[in-house]
Structures are given as C-alpha cells and as structure tokens.
Amino acid sequence: MSLFIISLIPFLIFTVLKTLKSFHMLQQNFYDDDCRYFKWILSNISKIAFESDILFILIICTLFFSTGVTIGLFIILYGIIILNYRKKKVISKKPLVVTARIKRLSFTMFLIYFIMIIPIIVNFDYENLIYDYMVLGLVTYLNSFVVMFANIINKPVEKCVYFYYRIKAIKKLKAMNIPVVGITGSYGKTSSKNIINDILNVKLNSTASPKSFNTPYGLINSINNYLDKFSDIFIAEMGAFKIGEIKQNCKLVKPKYGIITTIGEAHLESFGSRENIMKGKFELVESLPQDGLAILNMDDEYQVKYNIKNTCRVLWIGIDNKEADLYATNIKLSKSGTSFECVFKGDNNKYAFNTKLLGKHNVYNILAGILLGHELGLSIDELKRGVNSVKPIEHRLELKKYGNINIIDDAYNSNPVGSKMAVEVLGLMEGEKIIVTPGMIELGTKQYELNYKFGEYISDVCDYVILIGKKQTKPIYDALLNRKFDDKKIFVLNDVRDAFPIINRLATETTCVLLENDLPDLFNE
C-alpha cells in the first residue's frame, strides 16, 4: 500500500500542473461564458488528445508483469511526462491570475480527485492495480473536461458571489455620486482610457479601471477595490463580444459621458456582423442620461451613419473631417513622439500639443481626452500639460531598446486599423525595418482577407518579415509572395522566442523592429 501511495506523487504533481494550465485557458475564455472554453476545447481537440500523458495507456503493457514493474513504470512514466511538460512550458502573455474564483475552483477540483482517489486507497488490492492506474490516468488525461465540469458545479456559488459584490459596487458608486465616463469601441479602449485618465489627472483626481478590466466582473472589482473617497471621476472601460454586454455594463456604472473610439471588425466572429458591432457599441451612447455627453469620431463612417436613439448631447472629434467640434491638423510624427495642432469649432485659434505617443490613432484618443477635459473645466494650458504628461502605454506602440536595436512594441493585440497604423509608424523610422507578427485573430470569415491586406501593407514598408505560426500567417505569406517580396527575407517560426537570434543576426544600430501582436496561449499553434 505504501509503495502505491508513493507512486501517486509524480502523478499528482503532473495533475496539478495540468490543472493550472486548464485553469489558465478557462480564465482566458471568461470562465466558459457563452461556452467559450468548450469551443476552445473543440477547436484544439487534436492538440489536447495527443498530449504526452496519453502514454498512461502503456500501463496495459504490464498486465502480465509483476506488481513492482507496474508501479515502477507508473512512476517513471509520470516523471518523464512532468519533465517533458516543464520543458514545453512557455511564458504567457496573460498569466493565470490566482483570484478568489480560481481558489474556489481549486477546492472543487480537490474534492473531485479526493472522491476518486480515496475509494481506490480504501479498497486497494494489488490485483486491481492496473485498473486503478488506468482510471487515474484517464481522469487526468481528460483534465480539460474535468475542469469544465468543476466550473459548472461552481456556477451557483459564483452567481451568489457576483451579485453580492455587484450590489456592493452599485451602493458605493451611488454614495460617492461622482460622474462616470464610459469608453468602448472595437479597438483602442485601454489606450484611450489611460490617455484620458492622464489628461484629467492634471486637475481632477481621476480613477480608471485598471489594466483591461472591462467586463462586469472587472468593473465591479475596479469600483470596490480602486475607487476611494478622493476620486472625482471614474473612467470605465467597457468590452463586449456580443449585443447586450455594453448595456449590462452601463446598468452597473450608469455613465454620464460616453466615448466610442472606433467601430471595426474586432470580435466579428462573436458579434456575427458589422451591424451588430455598431448596435453593441452604441448601447453606451443610448444608455446615457438626457444631460449626458457622447464624444464620437467623425472620421469613422460607421459612427457618422448610425441613427442614435438618444437625445443626449453629441460632440465630434476628427482629423480628416474639419466639420468636427474639435479636429487636429499639422500632425508630425518622429522617434520622440507626435506633435499636432487643435482647432475648436467656433474658435479660430490653433493650439499646439505634444505627446510622447506614436500613431494617428493615438491622436484621436488624445482629442477625445482634450474635448472631455475642456467640458470638465480644464484650461488650454492644463490640457497641454496633460497631453504632454501622457505616459507611453505598455505594449502599445511603445518605443524600447533591445541592446542596440530600436523596438516598436505593439504586442498587446492587433486589429485591421491598428496594424496598418503600426506599419505606417514603422515606415517613418530610419534604417532597415523588420516586423515580427503572428497576424490577427477573431475576424470571422474575413480573417484571411484582412490578414492578406496586412501582408500587402507589410510588403510596402519592411525589409525583413518574421511570421509566427505557419497556419495562422499563411494569408500574410501569400500576400508577400504575390507582391514579389523576396522569400529569402521571410522567416516562418513556431515560437516568437526564436525570432530574436534572427533579429540579432540581421540588425544594425539603425534597424527598427516592430513587434505586432502577441497571441495569448489559447491561440498558440
């Protein structure tokens, strides 16, 4: 018996490691909301089916051998599996966050395995050893499904926890009675939120939802844990994968001000159509009170043509459209940042602004911040100081140094608008230009078409191209070849870490490298 229990140690260590990986995927898929985790399992079924612990079936080979051989093989087998598993482990873009929910899920998983193992130990018989090992191996082999089952068991508890903290957040916001700014859009929500927060903080004590906390759970967390009695205004980022989710966020935070960055094709697969994306994003504007204010982008045709079902005030920003309430002109980009001039409707003066940020899309975000700040009573001088103080946003067109190499880090995510702008920024830089990218995701039926266009933009600017993931980047590769791009200057890799030795070999002191998108683990090939 004691030898059997010792043999379970490597098995249990591997089970914990595999469970943590499944937790990570579950968390990235919003705890199976709208069956996202189950869909991820189905889309990766071949990869899951051929993980190394499928070797547990080798235990059958010991059917005619001694007990010692069976136990020895079990220990060796899971020892090798652990080593192989640790060897393949990669650094995650979004690592698993051990939240209270994950802790509750861990307890449920412990109970499931406890209920399974204890009867085996209590009724242990060496004659049943092979069958016991097979049951244990099978359950861990199906770990992804076991985690999904544990998540289903926990759902009633999670609903109670959610409503408790939701009510707490609503009461806190009501008691504070501060204005709320809601920000949504297909792209640029987090950048816009951080930029506006930096601008307003020149005069106001502005608090923004941290990181990418843009779901109801994230906003509840932000209100309960980040807002304090000194906050003058709350900026709430709002994300969505389908119609109704922005409206749900608005019922929670009740925004007075609403900003839509842009309406594009991000999450087209889950929304179903561009029209549904428009309706979903405009739920923010249509949830504003009568004395509320919406700030929209007049250069975005989808925002201009939408029939808003609300009589709240609407102000427009723009760059190309000079009819906007605030537009930017004379935009100049350099390695040190961006400079531009602003013109308010009805004011003939041009006000000069400077920012450390790169890219035309960031000018739109800054314009929204300037217009909102102006409405909230910030002077032009305060707005200039605010814009100048905006900090570069991590992994969003962030200028870095890697040894002697200039890096433009745009690795947080990628979309059809942002990726084009990132390549344009790269084109402004001196010296040879290299791009490292796995392409774009979650674009539904337009995934090939939009990645192909991305490849065309790359061919006009870059000297070398490093693609991550052969299947994922095929549209980009096809576009490059059709544009007669030298195939000897295209490198296709499976792991982004392999790109840096190539960069070191190719680069000089004047080389500039664009890191465009960094897919999370659930999209790895």
pLDDT score at 87: 67
Question: Sorting pLDDT into bands at 50, 70 and 90, what band is 92?
Answer: low
Directed axis angle between helix 245-253 and helix 274-282, to 10°?
Answer: 10
DSSP one-letter string for 232-255: SEEEEE---SSTTHHHHHHHHH--
Q: Within a 13 Å sphere around the CA of 404, how many CA atoms are in the beta-carbon half?
A: 9
Is the pLDDT confidence value at 395 over 80?
Answer: no
The 3-state DSSP class for residue 327 equals strand
Taking alpha carbons only, the member of 143, 399, 415 closest to residue 277 is 415
Phi, psi at 332, each rounded to 5°: -130, 125
The answer, as to whether pTM is greater than 0.85, is: no
CA 266 to centroid of chain Cα atoms: 12
> Which residue ranges does the chain devote to CATH 3.40.1190.10?
178-389
Distance CA 27, CA 149 (A): 14
Question: Sorting pLDDT into bands at 50, 70 and 90, what band is 268?
Answer: low
Is the pLDDT confidence value at 24 over 80?
Answer: yes
**CA of 86: how far to CAs of 13, 18, 21, 89, 173, in Å?**
11, 10, 11, 5, 45
CATH 3.40.1190.10, domain 178-389, yes or no: yes
The CATH number of the domain covering residues in 398-523: 3.90.190.20
Q: What are 467-522's pLDDT values in tens digits? A: 998 888 999 999 999 999 999 999 999 888 888 899 989 888 788 999 988 654 43
285/191: higher pLDDT = 285
> Which residue ranges does the chain devote to CATH 3.90.190.20?
398-523
Question: Sorting pLDDT into bands at 50, 70 and 90, what band is 174?
Answer: very high
Is the pLDDT confidence value at 269 over 80?
Answer: no
